[in-house]
Structure 1
Amino acid sequence: MDTHMKASRRQFMQHTATGLALAGFGHSTWAQQSPLEMTRIVVGFAAGGTIDLAARRVAEKLHPGYAKVAVVENKSGAGGQIAVLSVKSAAPDGATILITPTSPLSLHRYTYKTLPYDPVNDVVPVSGAAMFDYALAVGPLVPASVKTVADFLQWCRAEPAKANFGSAGAGSAANLIGVGLGKAGRADLRHVGFRGSQPAILDMIGGQIAAVVGPTGEFMPNVKAGKCRLLATSGLARGKFTPDTPTLVEQGFKSLNHVGWFGFYVPAKTSPETIRRLNSGIAAALAAPDVIESLASVYMEPMPTSADRLGEMLKTETLFWEALVKTVGYTIEG
């Protein structure tokens, strides 16, 4: 775990810069080949969230060079597992693409008794997509006097019946961060799973649950509207887009330092040539100024990578989550 904890945003940005530099080189190659009739990008979470936005912006750029028609399908449930299962079962012809956070492919092997797919062999990496910080937000159920993570944990201990948090699903990275926070702060912080961060946030701002852990960008419209407030972000340093929000590390929770990211994958047995062509298309999409601006609007930064590099990053993530699950003593779901 130590190696992962010391990894900084700078390392992520180095790989991003390389990917963006190669985008122009690859674009002419993939655009000259005959496009597919149709491609679909499968998202394992509800429409309206940050991963959904990233998928839609890339889909727009894959048309018409990679495919004549490019659509996004939301297949939410089981913390993203339904989407992985859907892509696993698709033809390995480049027409079905998965965009997913790392959890279903790295963390879930340690937080579920069984998985309906092999996270190593049923889908293969294509390219990184975007990176982001997680955040802890609280809603109107939590008093305005709660301004720090320590304040929140103290309130949880004083109000055990209200001490809960939501996330995009049981076994997700956000779930583990929340569990880790409760353990470190000696508070019985109960988890409530949802089919995506947005449904969880709706319950939080409605006063049904106290807090939500999720990608920072998921919260910001409601933060700006005064409906919820951020207590912390998860990166090693304060986020590029949230310089006024202290990190969990700053507030004493060093073991919860984590930069989240999404990646693109395709079914196993997809040809290397198809993967290279799709990788070039994704890199070109993520290099487009309007896509960079759109990602920034939801507090994300583009993260194109080679397929090999994405595979290496996923292995590192898997080791990180294995260690954290053991540290917090997470209870395996069904």
Structure 2
Amino acid sequence: MTFTRRQMLQQGGAAALLAGLGQHALAQSGAPFETARFITGFAAGGTSDTLCRRTAVRMQPDYAKAMVVENRTGAGGQIAVTYVKDQPADGSTILQTPTSILTIYPHIYKKLPYEPLVDLAPVTVACQFDFGFAVGPAVPASVKSVPEFLEWAKANPAGANFGSPAAGSTPHFIGALLGKNVGVDLKHAAYRGTQPAMLDLLGGNVSSVSGPIGDITQHLPTGKVRILGVSGAKRSRFAPDVPTFEEQGIKNATHSEWFAFLLPAKASPEVVARANAAAKAALAQKDVIDGLATFGLETMSSTPAELTELIKKDTAKWGPIVKEVGFTAEG
């Protein structure tokens, strides 16, 4: 699927703001909202939160006079999705979410409180990124590769564990696939975002973390974190000295991910188009592109239809992978 990078859709002139207009009328007129919100299901300081905050600044004041970011954490991101689907569909509440909540969760939960393409209206892809697998002080300095870590974990069952930003997330499955590669049962610890997992890694409370590359690289200056491998098909430009999993002989864990923006399902085509234009314009700004790059995020954008097809494609892709790992969760 091809996405338009750094492409801006020209917005029409905003109608004059009339006293007493409600948010619905504002959305229909094209006038700026007094306040609009990005809702993310992950903690402040992580890549999801950073994407929202960087984009929000550039959507002011044309889309909204004030863009607020709300971190509604819990249930691996489900709380945020469930909240947004029930909000007014006028464009004033925008969900930011990673792929797994839309494409993996339907395979692992018997009952979800939402249906991705029934309860949500896709707006645009926002960025893509690879994952890193890092170890901390609990792992000997002599361990310098993923295969060496797996051998160490096999010999040290008490340390055979890894953290991820959420149960059922892409990095959760990557960690599980790494263990299955050599028959090691890596115990999984789910957190409310990668940053809490990284804090436990730094403290020696968990041996390793599977998470977005940018969430890991920001901790490298501490000298306590080592990235052993990355999940992309090629080396990440954000960690060029780190070999991919495939380079290290691991064939089943090559995955990248994307973040996207969505609205409540009842949003009209005009409301979706307006949000799409505003988000794409923000993502095309050099300061946003450069700022997100420091977190390992590569900006991109799409049409609503392209995002819809991407959700369908990735949902189909993850079905067999979930079955191979054998993970299920109570919905």
RMSD of aligned Cα (Å): 1.3
Which stretches in structure 2 are left out of the alignment for 5+ residues? 16-29
Question: Is 1:289 aligned to residue 286 of structure 2?
Answer: yes
Cα displacement (A) at 1:120: 2.1
Q: 2:12 aligns with which of 5, 24, 29?
A: 29
Q: Distance in 2 between matches of 1:122 and 1:331?
A: 23
Q: Which residue of 1 aligns with 2:273?
A: 276
Question: Is 1:175 aligned to residue 172 of structure 2?
Answer: yes
Q: Which residue of 1 aligns with 2:6?
A: 20
Q: 2:73 aligns with which of 72, 76, 96?
A: 76
Q: Distance in 1 between matches of 2:248 and 2:14?
A: 48
Contact 2:121 2:272 in 1 (8 A): no
Which stretches in structure 1 are left out of the alignment for 5+ residues? 1-10
Q: Distance in 1 between matches of 2:251 and 2:10?
A: 41
Of structures 1 and 2, the larger Rg is shown by 2
Q: 2:246 aligns with which of 246, 249, 265?
A: 249
Q: Distance in 1 between matches of 2:275 and 2:49?
A: 19
Q: 2:313 aligns with which of 316, 321, 334?
A: 316
Question: Is 1:298 aligned to residue 281 of structure 2?
Answer: no
Cα displacement (A) at 1:317: 1.3
Aligned with 1:92: secondary structure?
Answer: coil
Cα displacement (A) at 1:333: 3.9
Q: What is the number of equivalent residue pairs in this alignment?
A: 317
Aligned with 1:113: secondary structure?
Answer: coil
Aligned with 1:104: secondary structure?
Answer: helix
CA deviations on 1:141-160 (whole Å, 9 max, x unpaired) are: 00111111100000110001
Contact 2:163 2:210 in 1 (8 A): yes
Cα displacement (A) at 1:139: 0.5
Cα displacement (A) at 1:221: 2.1
Cα displacement (A) at 1:283: 0.7
Q: Distance in 2 between matches of 1:31 and 1:148?
A: 55
Aligned with 1:121: secondary structure?
Answer: helix
Identity level (%): 48
Where do 1:1-334 residues align within 5 Å?
15=3, 18-21=4-7, 23=8, 26-29=9-12, 33-334=30-331
Aligned with 1:120: secondary structure?
Answer: helix
Contact 1:30 1:280 in 2 (8 A): no
Contact 1:170 1:333 in 2 (8 A): no
Cα displacement (A) at 1:30: 6.6
TM-score, normalising length: structure 2 = 0.93
TM-score, normalising length: structure 1 = 0.92
Q: Distance in 2 between matches of 1:111 and 1:291?
A: 34
